[in-house]
Amino acid sequence: MSYTDPQMSTKDPLRESVIKSTKELEAARAANTTDNTEKNITSLIQGGVNLLTQKKKALGDFNKSVLKEDQKLYDKVGGFTTEFEGFNEKSEKFFGDLIEEYNSIKTHLNNGTMRDASLGKKDLANLRGLVDQYGKALPKVLAMSDEINKAASIAGKNGMGAPGTLSVTGAPPGQLAIIKKISSGGPSGDDIDMRYEGGTIILFDNKTGAELNIREFNRAVSSKDNPYIKLVPDLSKGMTNAYDAFNKDHKGEMQNTFTSQNPNESDPNNPVAIRTMSEEQEIKLKNALMGAPRYDFKNKKQTNYHDGGGFKEMISQYGESIWEDMMPDGLTKKTQWPDEMPMFGDAGYDDFYKNYYEPMLDYLATTTINNNATDVQRETQNKEEYNKKYGTGKFKSGSKEYETKLDEYFSRVGLSEEDQEKIRLAKSGDEVEITINGKLTKIRKT
């Protein structure tokens, strides 16, 4: 599941509903005033004085409330600073204009010169919301800048796709660049402008056109299921556990299942001696790591589909990142990981397994062996050197011990009598082509 860009195109600007001036309101009041009798003049004047006093008091109270509200907003905005002064100036002007608009609406509401008071109150709430929205986002933006720097540093040392680097499954690079630009010193901050629309603040890069919707950003950073910043996971521990499960006993000592004791070791039973892994053993280990074959209960037969083994949960959680961040393009063919993985038996599972699941299992199994069999001499790494050191052991051709070991080898690998004769007739150092377990193989006689 990839992150959805927090940007919005719907335009819903804040609207003012001011339609009457104070003079119009006073004219309307004057039209309703009567002074037909002289006895009413005194009371009228007194009433006017009282009205003026009330108006002044009301206006004074209002000014205090406006100033108090004004100060609250300015106090919040005063904390909206980054390391780049140019962007700070833009931010200050942006919020200064918002507060000016806020006070204008507030004044008209108090004077009764707004056509739709409910709409005016809604506009005020929206403006307050914009300030709170940005205030909530800015500390997270600055914190994420540090996270981006750390991930970039790891990528510089270990390369993209290494554990702890930014994942391509996270936020779009254009948005990450906006975060970096507004939180770093330098002229890049001039690239970022601000506007508001649809009840949210939009940060936009005037060089690239990328946008960051602050409301959606706040939602994304609080999401546990689809976080805004995604890092490439470290799978090394899970891989080591999978490798050890097939190669070590409960004491942590290597077993003879997929590796063998070094025939040149003076004490072949030494548990810490260098061990060997033939090509055949490595193939079997890889298949074991990929998981047991699935059973088709509908057709009552075993299939060739591996169930994932110890990698099953790994793929469930991090399949998208493994495919898009870690695996080479030659294996993924630069395709994206599917949004949903079909279950075994579902329509489309065959194609999914062939094109995605099996290549990923093969990659994980191969990487697991490469990263954990570092103290094992593997035939696949250097066949010639392997055969030279470990192919026939320490016994020299012609000796009784050598012939005994050779007979044991013939019996173990099931060589035909014809191939056995080839080896016996070959001279020391000759390369002989024989069939071992159905596979044509070249060995060098020592």
Q: Do residues 315 and 357 touch, judged by C-beta distance below 8 A?
A: yes
- Residue carrying structure tokens 């070959």: 426
Q: Give the whole-angstrom CA distance, residue 188 versus residue 181.
A: 5
Q: Write the pLDDT tens digit of every residue in 375-392.
A: 888 888 877 776 766 654
In angstroms, the Cα distances linking 176 to 47, 171, 183, 203, 368 are 65, 7, 11, 12, 32
Burial class (CB in 10 A: 0-12, 13-18, 19+), 105: buried
Q: Write the pLDDT tens digit of every residue in 68-105.
A: 444 454 445 444 454 445 566 677 777 667 667 777 77
End-to-end CA distance of the chain: 57
Strand 275-277 to strand 260-261: parallel, antiparallel, or no bridges (unpaired)?
antiparallel
Q: Do residues 309 and 289 touch, judged by C-beta distance below 8 A?
A: yes
Domain boundaries, the chain: 22-32+40-221, 236-378, 393-444
Q: Do residues 428 and 421 touch, judged by C-beta distance below 8 A?
A: no
Among candidate residues 417, 432, 418, the one with its CA nearest the CA of residue 387:
432
Residue 363: per-residue pLDDT: 94
Q: Do residues 259 and 275 touch, judged by C-beta distance below 8 A?
A: yes
* Size of the chain, expressed as the number of residues it contains: 446
Residue 402: per-residue pLDDT: 52
The residues near 2 (Cβ < 8 Å, ≥ 6 apart) are: 169, 320
Q: Do residues 306 and 294 touch, judged by C-beta distance below 8 A?
A: yes
What letter would DSSP give residue 298? T
Q: Give the whole-angstrom CA distance, residue 229 versus residue 243.
A: 31
Q: For residue 388, which phi and psi values (nearest 5 degrees)? A: -65, -40
Strand 431-436 to strand 439-444: parallel, antiparallel, or no bridges (unpaired)?
antiparallel
Instruction: Enter the pTM of the model.
Output: 0.62
Task: Look up residue 117 and give its amino acid.
Answer: A
Q: Write the pLDDT tens digit of every residue in 402-424.
A: 555 556 556 655 667 777 777 77
Q: Give the whole-angstrom CA distance, residue 344 versus residue 333.
A: 23
Segment among 113-122, 248-257, 363-372 with least mean pLDDT? 113-122
Q: Do residues 291 and 307 touch, judged by C-beta distance below 8 A?
A: yes
Q: Write the pLDDT tens digit of every residue in 189-204.
A: 788 888 888 888 888 8
